[in-house]
């Protein structure tokens, strides 16, 4: 009873004097933390909105020759088949030019898209005078129309979805109005197929070695540390490796000349789909290994023990029990890695992606381009049309990645269900 | 006589089936097991009689599970375990550097603390082990026989293709026993096989042991003294890695010689 | 008392219907060893298992070949480069103009550092804020919703970020700061967008660091009457400092190696400037631009790219190793 009541009361007020202030500081900072989170999400929103904004919108075009005058039996130009287009060319193009084009490739052998390209480029000669974003098209339509009718009275204003079936199914051309992503999509799919074919088995095997077999010795520890290090190496370095090894040293193999294959007369110099796929495989290998290791580590020891106690060998245990049990996780990890590979650009530029392909890639020894490469090239062009094309290609790329992830989730869930009831 | 000649023809690491000069199915000689600096089992000398149930009891951490896992070389699956001494099976030291651990485990089966069936069908759970060990008989018959031995056949005969996970915990554990006996092992090691089960399932498994010991030598680790009393013929009491007392179960529980045994069975420490 | 629960075996036997004939069958020899009557414990040679094991090891060693490949490729081409350009000139020269034989890496290195620092100025405070919010404030449900969104942000291809920087951020900055003060290509815009790219990495690593601080420390602070803010900022964040430092270093390494954003938005031409509003080419940007054009092997241009890549490789390797070492250390402290 040495502390008197007065003293303790005084100290209590001392302590509580700034409590309200402390609470309001706490609340303010809470808002700051929340704001930074919201800001991060806003970025994602802005990114997506920008892409959508650029992928649709009005295009103001002036044609040298009115497209309506070219209609055949009421069929508009853009919906014509090859025969109709050939007729248009015959009617409107000078004989000399026709002969020149025919010498390049006979009209009978040209595809519809190719013919349309000729009609647009040689006869209609439309010129894009202005493009508008989706936002402008929706909320500033009046200004756009006014501006169009005063500045370019002959122009046509069309609402254009830059992502369209035509865009998806057309090969690469030099003009933004007619170009498509088919070449790039084919290139991406072929490249990724090579990547997966190599990286998936090798990655899983390496993970099995490290998790199930490797004893704790210097070599295995070194391999493990090395894999972590490789996962942090910038992707462009892998591009340099691919350039020096796959494109140059292994050129006979990667160009196909060692197998007597040349991609329809083109000289690819080792700058092929195969080189690109292998480069990406080496790039994502550490990621696949690390993910698969985690998947294997998640399997309980009791599963392994119960199998071994039955006189199963190590490999029988892994093949029959450990791998099936961890496969859903391995799949998810692999899809994450492959998603990364699909979006990679820098290493492929270094390995030697083609800037312009006259032919779609047809096999592993073809020259290649991929979706990200196309996006890079279109984005770096100053003309506004290319910016819309880039946005459209981004939509395709993101859709591809999204569907891959969706496929993985569905498959994983099906596997999990099987595990439970099978 | 015939068997003896056969024995003499075999090499160092071979043994004629169902014949051995030893009265023991399995014998530990000077067996010591350590994890790093910690000695879990110290100089264990213990013989396990044929077609009998032997129980290993003792407080947790006494080394009884470690010893059991040493009998079919399961310990070496965990890193950092060091084993010294011998475990003789048919006169062969299973720790001989030339012995194949896979082959040892094939003849000395194991049932674990928690039921751990494979994520396969009931049928496959039993057939798998037999298949990888080159079973030549009829698989349907094998599955049926094995399930009957653990009195599970009637409960599952209509859903052999169902997942083993659909069974109750007690049924799963009996399935795990069936899985082990499908290989026709000589010895069954059981590591607290009922500790994760309810009393009724426990009783069923205890009843099974009576019948199973007609065909197999059984070594069971249990933390439950009553269980040891009910199911075993002989009991060994381990404390801090030492085998304190090892004798007929009845003797051990009624007239323990060592004071420590008496303290333990009377519940003075646990 | 225990025997009461014990079912008579005969009852179970009856239920199981084991017939004597079936029991007998067990002794017929159905396993190979039983048939021969001899158990063999000798090590079996299992050629398939050995082969598989060798294959697995080979696959694991592919990673070593990769590292060796990188070191050899960068080393060989760089040494050819350094035969003609002295290391001193390379590291201290302030002009990079291959056409006139000037190979000073400083302009490229400087641009790389500028974009990376701008990126870290964005990513670190924001990432830490997000991490504190997620680890200390957000409810389980909000956390479960926000984390996948951040992962999406991390999964967007970098070329898309480059597009975003060039078509949105740069015009936005120019409209604010004036068309004359800020160039079309500038390191500021590239750095800002790179910050967004790195943000998810920083926030997830910081969150790991924050949540690995023992609960007891948190409870001790609360028990002394600290508010939530005081607990998180004055107790948890300092305790998790090494983890946050590791996140910063790893983020920096990512920023140094990042290519597409700077290739599109930072500028196409080496420029030794400290002004973030001006165009300047980074190391990665230069490699991409030059190798994307027609380049003849065995030229100084070609070799110089490998010399730059070697610098890039060493810098990122050191940063990564440093970051991992720090993480390992704080894990040891708390585990």
Contact across the interface for C42 and B13, Cβ inside 8 Å = yes
**Do strands B53-57 and B217-221 pair parallel, antiparallel, or not at all (unpaired)?**
parallel
Q: How many helices (H) and strands (E) does chain B have?
A: 11, 11
Same structural domain for residues A328 and A254? yes
Q: Is C156 on the interface with A (CB under 8 A)?
A: yes
Q: How far is B117 from chain A (nearest CA, A)?
A: 8
Are residues A412 and A343 both part of a single domain? yes
Give the closest of A47, A230, A401 to C66, CB-based.
Answer: A230
Helix (H) or strand (E) holding A5, with range, is helix A5-16
Residues of chain B neighbouring C38 (CB-CB closer than 8 A): 6, 10, 14-17
B7 pLDDT more than 50: no
Give domain status of residue C219, yes or no. Answer: yes
Q: Can you give the pLDDT at residue B8?
A: 46
- Note whether B204 contacts C33, CB cutoff 8 Å: no
Answer whether residue A127 is part of any domain. Answer: yes
Number of independent structural domains in chain A: 2
Mutate to test the interface with B, among A300, A301, A310 (most CBs of B within 10 A): A310
Instruction: Report CB contact under 8 Å: C129, A30.
Output: no
Three-class SS of residue A397?
Answer: helix
Q: Is residue C216 part of a domain?
A: yes
What token pair was written down for A370?
Answer: 């991929």
pLDDT at C22 over 70: no
pLDDT(C334) > 80: no
CATH hierarchy code of domain B20-265: 3.40.50.300
Band (pLDDT 50/70/90 cuts) for residue A12 is low
Let me know if residue A47 belongs to a domain.
Answer: no
Which conformational region is residue B58 in: left (phi greater than 0), alpha (psi within -120 to 50 degrees), or beta? left
- Does a structural domain hold residue A9? no
C62 contacts A202? CB cut-off 8 A: yes
Domains in chain B: boundaries:
20-265
Whole-angstrom distance, CA of residue B112 vs CA of residue B117? 10
Query: A309: which chain B residues are within 8 Å (Cβ-Cβ)?
Result: 72, 74, 105, 109-110, 112, 180
* Nearest-angstrom CA–CA distance, A367 and B128: 49
Would you call A309 and B120 a contact, using CB atoms and an 8 Å cutoff? no
Does the pLDDT at position A240 exceed 50?
yes
Six token digits for residue A185: 């999509």
Residue A3 tokens read as 């502390």
Q: Which residue of B has its CA nearest to C27?
A: B184
Which of B215-219, C3-7, C8-12, C246-250 bottoms out in mean pLDDT, i.e. has the lowest? C3-7
Is residue A191 located within the same domain as residue A66?
no
C39 touching A, CB under 8 A? no
Per residue in A284-318, pLDDT tens? 999 999 999 999 999 988 899 999 999 999 999 99
Higher pLDDT, C21 or C42: C42
If contacts are CB pairs under 8 Å, which of residues 37-96 in chain A contact chain C? 37, 39-41, 43-44, 46-47, 50-51, 54
- Domain assignment present for C91: no
CA atoms of B111 and B106, how far apart (whole Å): 13
Residue C71 falls within a domain, yes or no? no
CA distance C275 to B178: 77
Confidence at residue A222, expressed as pLDDT on a 0 to 100 scale: 94
In chain A, which residue's Cα lies nearest the Cα of C70? A241
| C150 is a domain residue | yes
Residues A192 and A152 in one domain: no
Query: What order do you get walking across the sheet with B24-35 strand by strand?
Result: B38-49, B24-35, B81-89, B92-93
More confident residue, C51 or A15: C51
Model pLDDT for residues A17-27, shown as the tens digit of each residue: 577 888 888 88
Q: Do A128 and A203 fall within a single domain?
A: no
pLDDT score for A210: 95
pLDDT of residue A422: 42
What is the distance between the alpha carbons of residues B228 and B142, in angstroms, rounded to a whole number?
Answer: 30
- Average pLDDT in chain B: 87
**Mean pLDDT on B203-214:** 90
Name the nearest CA neighbour of A124 among A174, A71, A63, A62. Answer: A63
* C167 within domain boundaries: yes
What band does B9 get if pLDDT is binned at 50, 70 and 90?
low
The answer to whether residue A119 sits within a structural domain is: yes
Distance CA C283, CA C4 (A): 82
CATH assignment of the domain containing C249: 1.10.3720.10
The reported pLDDT for the residue numbered C2 is: 39
Stated pTM of the model? 0.85
Collect all residues of chain C within an 8 Å Cβ-Cβ radius of residue A279: none
Residue C312 pLDDT exceeds 70: yes
Binary contact (A25, C229; C-beta < 8 A): yes
CB–CB contact A306 B176 (8 Å): yes
User: Nearest to residue C123, comparing CAs of B203, A36, B109, A326?
Assistant: A36
Number of domains in chain C: 1
Position B223 scores a pLDDT of 87
What residues of C are in contact with residue B208 (Cβ under 8 Å)? 9, 12
Q: Do A309 and B180 touch (CB under 8 A)?
A: yes
Q: Is C279 exposed, middle or buried (0-12, 13-18, 19+ CB in 10 A)?
A: buried
Which of C19, C41, C45, C48 would best serve as a mutation to test chain B binding (most B beta carbons within 10 A)?
Answer: C41
Boundaries of domain holding A124: 56-160
Question: Which has more confidence, C288 or A73?
Answer: C288
Contacts of C163 in chain A (CB under 8 A): 375, 379, 390-391, 394
Q: C196 falls in which pLDDT band (50, 70, 90)? A: very high
Average pLDDT over chain A, rounded to an integer: 85
Name the phi and psi angles at C306, rounded to 5.
-70, -30
Residues A287 and A392 in one domain: yes
pLDDT number for residue B17: 65
Contacts of B162 in chain A (CB under 8 A): 421
- Do residues A75 and A218 share a domain? no
Residues A98 and A226 in one domain: no
The Cα–Cα gap between C274 and B270 comes to 74
**Residue A399: which CATH number?**
1.10.3720.10
The pLDDT of residue A14 is: 60
- Chain B positions in Cβ-Cβ contact with residue C30 (cut-off 8 Å): 135-137, 142, 184
**Angle at Cα B177 formed by Cα C14 and Cα B44, nearest 5°?**
125
Query: Who contacts B171 (Cβ-Cβ below 8 Å, separation ≥6)?
Result: B152, B155, B156, B201
Q: Is residue C16 part of a domain?
A: no
Q: Which residues of A touch B79 (CB under 8 A)?
A: 216
Interface test with B, best of A217, A302, A311 (most B CBs within 10 A): A311
Task: Choose between B2 and A286: higher pLDDT.
Answer: A286
- Same domain, yes or no, for A193 and A270? yes
Q: How far apart are CA A287 and CA A337, in angstroms?
A: 6
pLDDT-above-70 percentage for chain A: 93
Q: What percent of chain C has pLDDT above 70?
A: 90
Is C285 within 8 Å of C267 (Cβ atoms)? yes
pLDDT digits (tens, 9 = 90+) for B81-123: 889 999 998 888 999 888 888 888 989 999 999 998 988 899 9
Among B222, B65, B170, residue whose Cα is nearest residue C5: B170
**Higher-scoring residue by pLDDT: C36, A325:** A325
Task: Supply the Cα-derived Rg of chain B in whole angstroms.
Answer: 19
C-beta contacts of A107-110 below 8 A and 24+ residues apart: A110/A82
Chain A partners (3+ C-beta pairs within 8 A)? B, C
Domain of C227, in residue numbers: 107-334
- C-alpha span between A136 and A57 (Å, rounded): 8
Cα gap A111→A127, rounded to integer Å: 23
Determine the Cα–Cα distance for residues A272 and C30; give it in Å rounded to an integer. Answer: 57
Residue C191 has pLDDT above 70, yes or no: yes
Chain C positions in Cβ-Cβ contact with residue B225 (cut-off 8 Å):
none
Confirm whether C248 is domain-assigned: yes
- pLDDT > 80? residue A125: no
């Amino acid at each position: 009873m040495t502390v008197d009541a007065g003293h303790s009361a005084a100290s209590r007020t001392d302590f509580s004097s700034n409590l309200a202030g402390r609470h309001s500081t706490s609340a303010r900072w809470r808002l700051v933390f929340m704001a930074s989170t919201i800001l991060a999400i806003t970025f994602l929103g802005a990114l997506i909105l920008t892409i959508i904004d650029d992928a649709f919108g009005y295009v103001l075009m002036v044609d040298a020759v009115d497209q309506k005058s070219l209609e055949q039996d009421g069929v508009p130009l853009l919906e014509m088949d090859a025969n109709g287009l050939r007729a248009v060319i015959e009617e409107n193009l000078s004989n000399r030019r026709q002969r020149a084009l025919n010498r390049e490739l006979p009209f009978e052998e040209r595809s519809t898209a190719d013919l349309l390209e000729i009609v647009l480029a040689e006869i209609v000669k439309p010129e894009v005078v202005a493009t508008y974003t989706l936002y402008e098209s929706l909320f500033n339509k009046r200004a756009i129309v006014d501006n169009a009718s005063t500045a370019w009275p002959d122009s046509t204003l069309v609402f254009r979805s830059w992502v369209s079936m035509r865009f998806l199914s057309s090969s690469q051309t030099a003009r933004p109005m007619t170009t498509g992503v088919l070449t790039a999509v084919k290139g991406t799919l072929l490249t990724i197929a090579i990547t997966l074919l190599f990286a998936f088995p090798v990655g899983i095997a390496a993970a099995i070695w490290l998790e199930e077999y490797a004893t704790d010795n210097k070599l295995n520890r070194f391999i493990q540390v090395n894999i972590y290090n490789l996962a942090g190496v910038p992707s462009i370095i892998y591009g340099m490796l691919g350039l020096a090894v796959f494109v140059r040293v292994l050129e006979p193999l990667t160009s196909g000349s060692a197998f007597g294959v040349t991609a329809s007369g083109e000289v690819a110099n080792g700058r092929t789909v195969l080189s690109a796929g292998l480069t990406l495989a080496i790039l994502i290998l550490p990621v696949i290994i690390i993910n698969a290791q985690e998947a294997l580590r998640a399997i309980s020891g009791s599963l392994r023990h119960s199998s071994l106690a039955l006189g199963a060998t190590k490999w029988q245990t892994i093949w029959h029990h450990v791998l099936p049990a961890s496969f859903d996780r391995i799949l998810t990890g692999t899809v994450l890695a492959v998603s990364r590979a699909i979006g990679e650009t820098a290493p492929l530029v270094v390995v030697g992606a083609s800037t312009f392909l006259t032919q779609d890639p047809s096999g592993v020894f073809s020259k290649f381009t991929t979706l990200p490469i196309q996006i890079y090239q279109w984005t770096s062009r100053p003309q506004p049309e290319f910016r819309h094309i880039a946005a459209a290609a981004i939509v395709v790329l993101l859709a591809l990645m999204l569907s891959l992830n969706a496929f993985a989730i569905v498959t994983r869930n099906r596997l999990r269900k099987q595990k439970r009831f099978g | 006589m015939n068997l003896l000649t056969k024995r003499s023809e075999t090499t160092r690491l071979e043994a004629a089936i169902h014949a051995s000069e030893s009265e023991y199915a399995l014998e530990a000689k000077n067996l010591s097991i350590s994890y790093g600096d910690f000695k879990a089992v110290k100089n264990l000398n213990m013989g396990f009689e044929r077609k009998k149930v032997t129980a290993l009891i003792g407080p947790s951490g006494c080394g009884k599970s470690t010893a059991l896992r040493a009998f079919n070389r399961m310990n070496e699956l965990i890193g950092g375990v060091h084993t010294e001494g011998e475990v003789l099976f048919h006169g062969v030291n299973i720790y001989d550097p030339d012995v194949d651990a896979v082959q040892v485990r094939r003849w000395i089966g194991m049932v674990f603390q928690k039921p751990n069936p494979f994520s396969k069908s009931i049928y496959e759970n039993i057939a798998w082990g037999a298949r990888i060990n080159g079973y030549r008989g009829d698989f349907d018959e094998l599955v049926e026989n094995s399930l009957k031995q653990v009195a599970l056949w009637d409960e599952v005969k209509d859903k052999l293709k169902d997942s083993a996970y659909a069974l109750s915990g007690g049924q799963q554990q009996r399935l795990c026993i069936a899985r082990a006996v499908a290989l026709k092992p000589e010895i069954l090691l059981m590591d607290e096989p009922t500790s994760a089960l309810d009393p009724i399932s426990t009783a069923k498994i205890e009843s099974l042991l009576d019948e199973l010991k007609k065909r197999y030598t059984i070594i069971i680790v249990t933390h439950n003294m009553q269980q040891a009393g009910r199911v075993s013929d002989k009991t060994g009491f381990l404390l801090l890695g030492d085998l304190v007392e090892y004798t007929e179960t009845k003797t051990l529980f009624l007239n323990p010689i060592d004071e420590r045994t008496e303290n333990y069975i009377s519940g003075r420490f646990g | 008392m225990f025997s009461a629960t014990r079912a008579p075996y005969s009852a179970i036997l009856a239920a199981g219907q084991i017939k004597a004939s079936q029991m007998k069958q067990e002794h017929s020899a159905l396993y190979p060893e039983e048939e021969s009557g001899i158990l063999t414990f000798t090590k079996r040679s299992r050629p398939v298992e050995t082969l598989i094991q060798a294959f697995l090891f080979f696959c694991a060693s592919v990673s070593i070949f990769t590292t060796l490949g990188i070191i050899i490729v960068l080393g060989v081409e760089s040494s050819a480069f350094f035969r003609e350009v002295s290391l001193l000139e390379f590291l201290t020269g302030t002009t990079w103009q291959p056409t006139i034989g000037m190979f000073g890496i400083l302009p490229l290195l400087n641009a790389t550092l500028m974009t990376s620092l701008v990126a870290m100025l964005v990513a670190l405070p924001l990432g830490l804020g997000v991490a504190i919010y997620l680890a200390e404030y957000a409810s389980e449900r909000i956390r479960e919703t926000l984390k996948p969104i951040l992962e999406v942000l991390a999964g967007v291809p970098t070329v898309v970020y480059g597009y975003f920087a060039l078509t949105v951020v740069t015009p936005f900055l120019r409209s604010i700061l004036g068309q004359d003060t800020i160039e079309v290509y500038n390191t500021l815009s590239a750095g800002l967008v790179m910050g967004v790219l790195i943000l998810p990495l920083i926030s997830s690593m910081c969150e790991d660091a924050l949540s690995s601080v023992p609960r007891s420390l948190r409870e001790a602070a609360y028990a002394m009457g600290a508010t939530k803010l005081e607990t998180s900022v004055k107790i948890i964040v300092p305790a998790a400092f090494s983890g946050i430092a590791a996140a910063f270093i790893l983020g920096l390494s990512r920023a140094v190696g990042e290519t597409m954003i700077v290739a599109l938005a930072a500028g196409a031409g080496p420029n030794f400037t400290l002004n973030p509003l001006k165009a300047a080419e980074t190391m990665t940007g230069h490699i991409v631009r030059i190798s994307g054009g027609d380049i003849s092997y065995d030229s100084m241009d070609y070799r110089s790219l490998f010399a730059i890549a070697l610098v890039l490789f060493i810098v990122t390797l050191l940063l990564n190793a440093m970051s991992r070492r720090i993480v390992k250390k704080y894990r040891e402290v708390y585990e």
